[in-house]
């Protein structure tokens, strides 16, 4: 599904009738960098997960890395701890729900404010915070962006995105 949407914030929904697929997308809450964004469209991931009933056909996917490198790691740890509580509660009330966390991408940045070293630290925090939560799948796509022939970019090229989607689908739609 290609939504062909402009790069503005706000929730989106895509429906694919043939295979009965509904995708809800929401931007995470602050810190966030969009040109135009209604404050009512900002959501914290933990709060959104708390609203999900869950079932064997539900898949929850999230990633929070790129905009977090501008803040102290303690801010990130606190936010991930809240998300962890929400995921544990979701899996308690609906243990057959699939929860997938996508790691951050490399960006090729080498400055003090945004670097792959900082993103790698965030990846480590996220992986460790969810290591003992049964039912959570961690999609580690770091090497897909750092070892690919395409130039490193926080928004990777189509071939890398296709590889990431294929990896994701291998967990959601096993043969």
CB 168 within 8 A of CB 161: no
Beta strand 98-102 pairing with 136-139: parallel
CA distance 146 to 48: 31
Beta strand 98-102 pairing with 59-62: parallel
Alpha-carbon dihedral 16, 97, 79, 42, rounded to 10 degrees: 30
More confident residue, 175 or 133: 133
pLDDT digits (tens, 9 = 90+) for 8-65: 666 777 888 888 888 877 766 666 655 666 777 777 889 999 999 999 989 999 988 7
Does 1 have pLDDT greater than 70?
no
Q: pTM of the full predicted structure?
A: 0.83
What class, spelled out in words, does domain 44-172 have in CATH?
alpha beta
Percent of the chain topping pLDDT 90? 37
Does 120 have pLDDT greater than 80?
yes
Beta strand 136-139 pairing with 12-16: unpaired
Mean pLDDT of 133-149: 86
pLDDT digits (tens, 9 = 90+) for 151-171: 666 678 888 888 988 999 999
Q: What pLDDT sits at residue 137?
A: 96
Taking Cα atoms as reference points, which of 59, 58, 30, 24 lies closest to residue 43?
30
Give backbone dihedrals phi and psi of 86, rounded to 5 degrees, phi first.
-70, -40
Q: Where are the beta strands (DSSP E) in 54-150?
A: 59-62, 98-102, 136-139
Model confidence at 66, pLDDT cuts 50, 70, 90, reads: low
Average pLDDT, the chain: 82
Domain ranges (residues) in the chain: 44-172
Model confidence at 139, pLDDT cuts 50, 70, 90, reads: very high
Name every residue whose Cβ is closer than 8 Å to that of residue 124 and which is 6 or more positions away in sequence: none
């Amino acid at each position: 599904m290609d939504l062909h949407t402009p790069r503005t914030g706000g929730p989106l929904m895509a429906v694919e009738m043939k295979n009965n697929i509904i995708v809800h997308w929401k931007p995470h809450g602050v810190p966030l960098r969009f040109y135009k964004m209604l404050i009512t469209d900002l959501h914290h991931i933990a709060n959104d997960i708390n609203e999900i009933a869950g079932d064997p056909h539900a898949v929850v996917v999230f990633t929070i890395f790129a905009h977090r490198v501008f803040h102290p790691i303690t801010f990130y740890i606190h936010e991930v701890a809240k998300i962890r509580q929400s995921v544990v509660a979701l899996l308690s009330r609906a243990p057959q729900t699939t929860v997938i966390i996508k790691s951050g991408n490399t960006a090729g940045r080498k400055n003090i404010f945004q670097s792959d070293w900082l993103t790698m630290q965030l990846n480590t925090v996220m992986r460790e915070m969810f290591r003992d939560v049964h039912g959570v799948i961690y999609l580690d796509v770091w090497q897909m962006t750092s070892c690919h022939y395409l130039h490193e970019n926080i928004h990777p090229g189509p071939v890398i995105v296709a590889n990431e989607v294929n990896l994701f689908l291998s967990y959601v739609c096993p043969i």
